[in-house]
Structure 1
Amino acid sequence: MASPVHENTIVIRPADDLLDQHPAIKRAAAELADAYATRKLVSDDDLEAIGAAIATALALKPKFEAAVSTAGNAVTSIVIESANPAIQQLPWETLYIDGFGFVARDKRFSLSRRIPAIPCYRHAPGAGPLRILLFTAITEDQSRLNVEEEQASVQEALMPWIEQGVVQLEIPDDGRFSTFGRTLNAFQPHAVFLSGHGEYRANTFNDNAPVSVFLFEAEHGMDSHGVDQSTLANAIHGMPIECIVLSSCQSGKGSSDSLTSGLMTRLAALGIPHVIGMRESIRDDAGIRFARTFCGAIARRERIDVAIQAARQSIRKPHAERHPDPLDARPAEPGHGQWCLPALISNTPERPLIDWDFTPRPPERVNESVTLNSITLPARFIGRRRQLRAWSDRLRERGFQQLLITGPGGQGKTALAGRFARKLEEDGHRVIAWSARPESRWRDFEFELECLLGPDRLKQFYAMTERHEDEASRVKLMLRFLQAVPGGLVIFFDNLESLQDPMTRTLKDTHLSHWIQRIQAERPGFLTLIVTSRWKLPEWPDDSHLSLRHLGYNDYLQLARQHRLPRTLLDDPDRLRRIHRTLHGNARALEFFVAAIRDMEAGEESTFLQALADSQAESQTDMALAEVYRHRGEEERELLARLTVYDTPVPLEGVVRIGRDLKTAPAPLLERLVDVSLVEPSRTDDLDCMEYQCSALVSDWLARQRPRPTAARTLTAAAQYQHYLFRHQRPTLEQAMRAWRALVRANQTRQAHRLALDHIVGPLNRAGQYKRILNDWLPAIRRSDAQEIRAEALGQSGKQHFHLGNYSAALGYLKQSLAIQQEIGDKAGEGTTLNNLSQIHATRGDYDTALDYLKQSLAIQQEIGDRSGESATLNNLSQIYDARGDYDIALDYLKQSLAIQQEIGDKAGEGATLNNLSQIHAARGDYDTALDYLKQSLAIRQEIGDRSGEGTTLNNLSQIYDARGDYDTALGYLKQSLAIQQEIGGKAGEGTTLNNLSQIYKARGDHDTALDYLKQSLAIRQEIGDTAGLCVTLFNIGHIHLQNEEREAAVSAWISVYRLASKMNLAPALDALKKLAPQLGLEGGLDGWKKLATRAQPGE
C-alpha cells in the first residue's frame, strides 16, 4: 500500500545570490565534495554541519513546523526549486533542521529537486505492468563492482511482484552500449537502472565544456567505453521512460555554470519525468541497498520521491542486515556518509510511473527450449555473464579456436556451449553438433559433415578416401575438404564424460578421439571446436579450458524466476539463499526441487531440503526428480514412460496418438508433466506450434527405475504418427529419417524400406551421398522379401556405383534388378533400369549398346504413360546423337523432351533441356538461337535456385560471346560461373570454367595467364577423374606450348589426350586429334597418333 502524501508541499526557492551572501556554504560544499573524491570517511557530523548551515541561511525551521502540524500521518513533500546551476550543485540532501534532523532520510518527509525551465510531461503514463530494465556494465579497467549481488537484491525485492504480474524485469547479459539501445527498443521500459561506473570530467586544463559519462562495456574486449550525456540522451529519446536511475559514481554531479553539463541534469532536460543520480562516488554496498529498497518501493506503488526517501534510509542500516552471500568473502564496507548521495530531479514527483489501473496477469511458465542437431538448449540463456562475454569475443577471433567447458552436473555446461555455438551461427558459421548419448549415432555426425561438401566435392572425397585406410588420415582429408565451407565451421561435442575412462579420463571412443586429436594437430583456421564434459581431457591446453564453478546466487535467482515458486519462498529471500547453498547452484536440481515442494507441507519441505543437504551433490538431482515422480498419478507416469518412444520433440497430436487408450485425455496429463519439468516444451517454427519431449535426463532416470520394454502398440502408434507428420506436415529429409527410425523400431520393415526408397535415397543421391546410401541404406533393403522393393534397391545400388565410377559393379546390380523387374512385370521399374544401363555404356563410349537400352526404355515408358521417365530418356537419347555429331536427331529428341517437361511442370528438367538445346545450335554456329535458349535456361535455373545449373548455363553463355569475339562479356559470365562453382563446391564445373577462362586469355595473346588457368583446371580434373574434361584441358595446353614454340611439350600433351580418349572412345577428342594430325605433318590420322603413343614412354 502506498504511503499517503499531504497535498501541501514545502517548496524551497533559494535566491540566486545565496552563495554570494553565504560564502561559507560554498566552501563547505567544496570541501565535502573533495572528501568524497579522496575517499575520506564522511560522518553524520560532517553532513549535519553543512545541512544545518543551509537551513539556517534560509530560515527554514518555521516552515517545517507549520507543515508537520497540518500533515498528520501523511508524508510532507519537500521540493528544492532553482534554475541556478550553482544552487543545484549544493548537497540539499544533507538539509538538517533543528528538531527534525536530516529531513532527506526522515520518513515524515520526501525530498526532491525541481528545475523550472524543464517542461512537465503532458501525456498520461503508459499502461501496466511496470517494466523495469536493470542494465549493468562490468569492465576490467575499472574497480570491480558487485553487480551480481545488486542484481540478486533487485530480484529478491521484485520477485513477489513479478509472480503476480505487476512487474516485468529485464536483465541483459552484457553491458555494451549497442545492447542497451537494442534492449530499450525491444523492451520499452518504464523505469531504467543504469548501474556501473561513471565519471564527471571537468576539463580544467582546456576550454572544453565539462562532460559526464557512463562507462559501458566496450564492443570488443572487457574494457570500458565512455558514453557522454548527449549520446546517452539521444539513445533514450522517444522511449516511454518515466524514471531513470543512474546508479553510478558522480552521475548527479554537474557544473556550476550549466544545468546540462551533468548526466542527471541532461537527461532531466530531455523531459524524463523522474531522474535519479549519485552526487558523488557511491560505495558498492550502499548502491546495492539503494537499488533493493527503491525497486521494492516503486513496485508497491510508492511515489518516486517517497521511494527514494526510503532508499536513503536503507543505506544507513548496519551492514549486517544485508543477506550474506556464501561466495562473497569480501570485507564489509562502511556506509557512513553514503545515504545522502542519491538525488532526485522531478518537476512532478506525484506523477505515477504507470497507469496502475490494470489487471495483472501472472507470467506464463513455459520453459521453452530449442534444439541444435538434437541437443536440447534453453530458448533463452541465463547467467555466466563474465564467461559468456570473455569467451564470446575470443571464439569470434580469426583463426582456429577451441574451448573445453567442464564442471559438475547441472551447472549449465551444455547451455553455455550451445550459446557460444548459436552466437557463431548468427555470425554466419555452420554448426555441427553431436552429443554422446545412447541414441546418438556417430555416422549421423559424419553425414552432417558430408552434406556440407556438396555432390561434386563429396564425390572427390569418396574417390580420395580409397587411398586412406586409417581413420586419422581420413579425418585429415575431410578437414581439408571442409575448408571450402563458407563462413567457417563450428564442431560442438557434448556430454563426453560418458565416453571417458573413469581413471585416466582419456576418450574410449576411437572415432571421437581421432577427430579431436586431428583437429588439434591441424588447427584449421576455419574451424572452432567446442567440447563439454564433467572432466578435463588429458593434454587439453589450459588456456582453452573453462572450468565452471557453482552457479552464482544472482544467476540462480534468474533461473528461479522461470519456475512457479511458492509464495512462502518469494517472501523469504533467506530460504532462497539456503536452497542455493544446499543444491550447490545446480540448475536442474532447482528445477525439480521447485516442482517437488509444490505438493509438500512446510515441515515436509524442510525435511526434504535437509536430506538434500546431507546427500552428495551428484545425487541431488536424482533425489529431487524422484520426489517429483513420487507425487505423479499413475496415468501421468504411464504417459511419461510412453513419451520416451520419441527421440525428438513432437506436437501435441503426437502425444495424443500414444495416449488414446488412457482414461484421462493426454492433453491435461501432458500439461501437468510440463508444469513439473518432466517434459520439455519447445516452439517449432515450421509448424508454428509447441512440441514436447521427455528430456534426456528424465529418460535416463526412467530407464534406471523401470527398465521394461515399450509396448508394441506404443511403438507402432509413434511410428505411424512420425510417418503421418512426414507425409502431411513436414516433408523434409530429416523428418523422413525420423519416421524411418520409428518404423524400424516398431518392426514395420516393409513400410520403412518403401519410405527409404521413395523419400530418403533420392535426396541423399542429389546431395552426392553415394557411399552412405550404399553402406547405410541399401544393404538391408536388398534383402527385402518383397521382390519389387528388392529390385528397386538393386537398381539404386547400381545407380550409386555408376556415380562413383564403379561401372562393373553398377552393371552387375542393374542387371540383377532388371531380371527381377522383368520376372514380376514391373514395367515402370524396368524402364528406369534400362535407362540407367544406357548411361554406363554411354560413359564407356559404347553408344550402340546405350542406344539400344534407351530405345527399349522409351518404348516401355510410352506404353505405360510414364511422362517424367519418357522426358528423361528422350533427353539422354539426344546426348548420344549429340556425341556422334548427328545434331538433327539430337535436336528432335530434345524438343520432344522439352514439350513433355513443360506439360508436366518439370522446371528443373526444362532448364537442363533448354541448356542442352543451346549447345546443339552453338555447335552449328547459330549463336542467336543458342543465346535465346541459354537466357531462358538461366532464368528458370535462377528462379528455382538451381545453383549448379546456373553455373553451367553462365559458362555456356560465355562460350557464345567468346565465339563472337566479345571477350569482355565472356569474361564476365565466366567469373560469375566460377564464383558459383567454388561456392557450391562444384569441382567439375570449376574445372570447365577455368579451362574456358584460359581460352579468353589465349585469344588475347596472354599465354602465361592462359597456361596458369589451364594448370588449375588440369589439377582439378585429375583430382576428380574427369576424363573427358582432362582431354579438353590437355588439348588446350598442347596448343599453348605449340604457340610458345615448345613442340615436344605440345606433342606430349596430345599423346596423353590420345591415350585417354582412345581408352574411353571419346569421339570429340579423337576427332580433334584427327584434324590436328595433318597440321603437325603426322600421317595416318589416328593411326599416326597410335604409333606416337606406342613409341613414347608413359612418363613423357
Structure 2
Amino acid sequence: MHTLTPLTIKPSVELLTQCPNLLALSQQLRQHYHTQQVTETELKTVGMALWQALNLETHLTSQALLIEQTGNVLDDLPWECLYHPQHGFLAQQISYTLSRRIEGNHVVLSPPVGPLNILLWTAQPDKLRPPQARLDLEGEQTAMRIALEPFIAAGWVNFYAPDDGRFSSLVEILQQFSWQVVLLSGHSLLQPADQPQMAGFIFEDETGEGEFITADRLASIFQASAVQCVVIAACQSAYGLATPANLVMPIIQAGIPHVIGMRERLLDRAGQVFIQTLCVALAQQARIDIAVQQARRAMTALLSPHETWCSTHKSSPVDPSVGQWCLPMLISRDPTQPLLNWHFCPQPRLPSFIGNSIPLSPLFLGRRRELRTLGTALRTGTIRYLFIHGRGGIGKTALAHRLTLPLIQQHYRVLVYQANQGTTFLAVLAQARGLSTATALEILLEPFISQPWLLWLDNLDCIRDPDNGSLLDAALHESLNILQDWNNPQLRIILTARQPINTKLPIDNYHLSRPDFKDFSHAIQQLGLNYTFAERLKTYQVLGGNFQGVQLLQSLPPLTTDLTTQLAIVHRYLQAYQRSCNS
C-alpha cells in the first residue's frame, strides 16, 4: 500500500452537459443524508453515474486516485462514492486510495523528526441549540487514549486531549507546542441561506457558552504553523466546496498540506471510529491517504454485534450508518507527502500512575466547566494544591482522575493513595519507591523535590478526625509539611473528601455540587436504562445527582418493582452508606 502511485483525474465542466443527471442525483443524495434515508443502492447509483461520466478505462490497477479540484460546482459532487464496475466503491477498497487534490505553488518542507504529536481538541458548549446534539466527547477522548496507549508508552506518539474547548486556549497551545495532527471535534455551523454565506466552528467561551469562530479566523491560526494535517470531525465541515460556506478550503489555503472534513451530517459514533482508526494508522506510519482509506473501511461497521440503532434512531426507516464511510473528504496538495520523519530513536515512557490502583467507572460525562477552569489552573500553576470536597457519589474521584490526564500528557507522573484501601500512606510510598518503610521520609520523597509530580490523595474521610478535621495518618501529615517546605513549583497535589480537612497546606478549596441534569440524564442512557424524560428527572431529583445510585439502579433485577420502589431501595442504601462513612 505504501507504494501506491498517484493517478490524477481531472473532471471537466463538460460532464454536466454530457451527464445532466449528476447534479440532480447529488442533490437528492444530500437531502437523504439530512433525513437519514441513504441506502446502499442509492450510493451505488450515484457512484456509477460519476464513473461513467469520467469515461475512464475499465481496467484500473491499484493506485492512489486524486480528484483534481476545479473550483466550480464539480467540487460539490460526492466523488468519495465513485463506483467501479469491477472493484466497487473505490474509496473503500484496500488496493486504492481516493482523495482530492488542489493545485497551486506551495513549498514542500522536510517533515519534522518524530515523535508524532497529536492534538484532539473537543468543544461542547453547555447550551446546545437544535439540531445540535450532545456529543460523547468524553468517550471519544478515552477511546483515543486507549487506542494510542501502546504507541505513547513506546515513545512513538505524544497525545494531548484537554477538556478545554476555548478558541483562545487552542491558539495558545498551537503557539507553545509543535503538532503534526490537529483534530477538531464538535459542531460546525453554516449560516442560513437568507444570510451571508459563512461557515464556522463552535467553540466554548469563558462561561461555557458557544463562541462562533468563522472559517477564515480559524484558518489564520494555522498559518506558518508546523501542523501537517487538520481534521474537522464535525457535520458538513466540507460542505459546499464551491462556495465560501465551508471550513476546509480556508485551512488548505492557509498552507496546511492535508485537511480532512465531512461532506454531510455525521453520526457521533462514525466520527469517533474515523478519527480513532485514522490516528492508529498514522501512528503505524501509514501515509495520510492510506490512513484515511483504512478509517473509511472501519466506518462500515460502527456497531458491536450486540448493538442496534433502533433505540436512538427510531424515526429512521433505514440503518442511519449507511453512507457514513464516504463522508470523510481528504483534500491534499500531495497525499504522498509524509507527516513525519520516523527515523528517530523513541524514548519509552515510565508508567504514569504508581501507588494504589483506584477502580474507576469507564463512564465520565460533563463537568466541562470544572475541567476547563481547574485543569487550566493546575497546568499553569495558578493552583498547585487542590482540595475537592462534596457529597458522596457525585464524582469527586472521577473528576480528580480526569484532572490528572492533562498533567500526564505534560510528562507528570502520579503517585496515588486512596485512604480506604486498608494501607497507610507510608506503605504505599515505600512500595512505589522500592524501599523499606523504615526509610526516612525525606529520602522516600526525594523525587518530589524538583521533578514534575502529582500526588493524588483520595477518599481522605477514612483517615480524617471527625472532631477537628485533621489527618490521622502521621506519615501523610508529615509528608505534606515536608513538601510544603520544599516548595517544588512543579509539584501538584489533589485531595478529595466529603468533609473539609484541617491541614497547613495552602490548599484551594473547590466544593463540587451535583452534576448538571443533562449530563446525569445522558449517564442514565449510557448505562442502558431506557427511562423516559420524566423518569430520568425523577431519578435525578430523588438521588440528588448521585452517579453511584444510578449504577446501583442498573444492578437491580429488571422488572421486579416499579421505579419508585427501586429509587427508595437505592436511596436507603446510600443513606446507610453515608452514615457508615461518617462513623
The separation in 2 between residues aligned to 1:682 and 1:632, in whole angstroms, is 13
The separation in 2 between residues aligned to 1:708 and 1:182, in whole angstroms, is 41
Q: Which amino acid aligns with 1:389?
A: R
5+ unaligned residues in a row in structure 1: which ranges? 69-75, 369-382, 394-415, 434-491, 495-530, 536-545, 565-586, 594-617, 644-653, 656-669, 671-678, 702-706, 731-1100
State the partner residue of 2:232.
246
8 A Cα contact 1:367 1:681, kept in partner = no
* Correspondence list, 1:103-142, <5 A: 103-117=90-104, 119-139=105-125, 140-141=127-128, 142=132
How many aligned positions are there? 456
5+ unaligned residues in a row in structure 2: which ranges? 355-362, 464-471, 488-583
8 A Cα contact 2:115 2:158, kept in partner = yes
The separation in 2 between residues aligned to 1:91 and 1:237, in whole angstroms, is 29
Distance 1:127 1:153, change over 3 A: same
State the partner residue of 2:44.
48
How far does the alpha carbon of each residue in 1:964-1019 deviate from its partner, in whole angstroms, 9 at most, with x for none? Answer: xxxxxxxxxxxxxxxxxxxxxxxxxxxxxxxxxxxxxxxxxxxxxxxxxxxxxxxx
* Correspondence list, 1:781-800, <5 A: none
8 A Cα contact 2:230 2:260, kept in partner = yes
* Correspondence list, 1:301-450, <5 A: 301-320=285-304, 334-363=320-349, 386-389=366-369, 426=382
Asked if residue 36 in structure 1 is aligned to residue 14 in structure 2, the reply is: no
Asked if residue 275 in structure 1 is aligned to residue 256 in structure 2, the reply is: no
Distance 1:297 1:626, change over 3 A: farther
Q: CA deviation at 1:85?
A: 2.6
The separation in 1 between residues aligned to 2:162 and 2:408, in whole angstroms, is 15
Q: Which amino acid aligns with 2:254?
A: L
Three-state SS of the structure 2 residue aligned to 1:320 is coil
Q: CA deviation at 1:116?
A: 1.6
The separation in 2 between residues aligned to 1:534 and 1:553, in whole angstroms, is 14
Distance 1:680 1:697, change over 3 A: farther
State the partner residue of 1:158.
148
* Correspondence list, 1:880-895, <5 A: none
Q: CA deviation at 1:694?
A: 11
Distance 1:692 1:50, change over 3 A: closer
Bigger helix fraction: 1
8 A Cα contact 2:424 2:473, kept in partner = no
The one of 80, 93, 110 equivalent to 1:93 is: 80
8 A Cα contact 1:366 1:681, kept in partner = no
Three-state SS of the structure 1 residue aligned to 2:38 is coil
State the partner residue of 1:198.
188
* Correspondence list, 1:46-85, <5 A: 46-62=42-58, 65-68=59-62, 76-85=63-72
The separation in 1 between residues aligned to 2:75 and 2:292, in whole angstroms, is 18
Distance 1:155 1:709, change over 3 A: closer
Distance 1:563 1:20, change over 3 A: closer
Three-state SS of the structure 1 residue aligned to 2:282 is helix
Distance 1:322 1:182, change over 3 A: farther
The separation in 1 between residues aligned to 2:76 and 2:456, in whole angstroms, is 62
- Aligned-residue Cα RMSD (Å) equals 4.5
Q: CA deviation at 1:389?
A: 0.9
Q: Which amino acid aligns with 1:387?
A: R
The one of 386, 389, 398 equivalent to 1:551 is: 398
Three-state SS of the structure 2 residue aligned to 1:227 is strand
The separation in 2 between residues aligned to 1:188 and 1:273, in whole angstroms, is 15
8 A Cα contact 1:592 1:625, kept in partner = yes
The separation in 2 between residues aligned to 1:290 and 1:330, in whole angstroms, is 20
- Normalising to structure 1: TM-score of the pair? 0.37
Distance 1:52 1:93, change over 3 A: same
* Correspondence list, 1:868-887, <5 A: none
How far does the alpha carbon of each residue in 1:803-859 deviate from its partner, in whole angstroms, 9 at most, with x for none? Answer: xxxxxxxxxxxxxxxxxxxxxxxxxxxxxxxxxxxxxxxxxxxxxxxxxxxxxxxxx
The separation in 2 between residues aligned to 1:296 and 1:338, in whole angstroms, is 19
How far does the alpha carbon of each residue in 1:926-966 deviate from its partner, in whole angstroms, 9 at most, with x for none? Answer: xxxxxxxxxxxxxxxxxxxxxxxxxxxxxxxxxxxxxxxxx
The separation in 2 between residues aligned to 1:196 and 1:115, in whole angstroms, is 26
Three-state SS of the structure 1 residue aligned to 2:4 is strand
Higher RCO (CA < 8 A, seq sep 6+): 2
Three-state SS of the structure 2 residue aligned to 1:25 is helix
Structure of greater Rg: 1
State the partner residue of 1:458.
none
How far does the alpha carbon of each residue in 1:503-540 deviate from its partner, in whole angstroms, 9 at most, with x for none? Answer: xxxxxxxxxxxxxxxxxxxxxxxxxxxx72455xxxxx
- Normalising to structure 2: TM-score of the pair? 0.67
Asked if residue 532 in structure 1 is aligned to residue 331 in structure 2, the reply is: no
The separation in 2 between residues aligned to 1:284 and 1:563, in whole angstroms, is 28
8 A Cα contact 2:203 2:210, kept in partner = yes
Asked if residue 184 in structure 1 is aligned to residue 174 in structure 2, the reply is: yes
Q: CA deviation at 1:623?
A: 7.2
State the partner residue of 2:515.
none
8 A Cα contact 2:389 2:396, kept in partner = no
8 A Cα contact 2:230 2:259, kept in partner = yes
Q: CA deviation at 1:253?
A: 1.0
The one of 15, 18, 23 equivalent to 1:18 is: 15
Distance 1:55 1:624, change over 3 A: farther
Percent identical residues: 29
Distance 1:102 1:320, change over 3 A: same
Bigger strand fraction: 2
8 A Cα contact 1:133 1:191, kept in partner = yes
Distance 1:623 1:14, change over 3 A: farther
Asked if residue 143 in structure 1 is aligned to residue 133 in structure 2, the reply is: yes
Distance 1:299 1:237, change over 3 A: same
The separation in 1 between residues aligned to 2:403 and 2:305, in whole angstroms, is 21
8 A Cα contact 2:219 2:254, kept in partner = yes
8 A Cα contact 1:77 1:111, kept in partner = yes
The one of 189, 214, 236 equivalent to 1:228 is: 214
Distance 1:218 1:560, change over 3 A: closer
Q: Which amino acid aligns with 1:87?
A: L
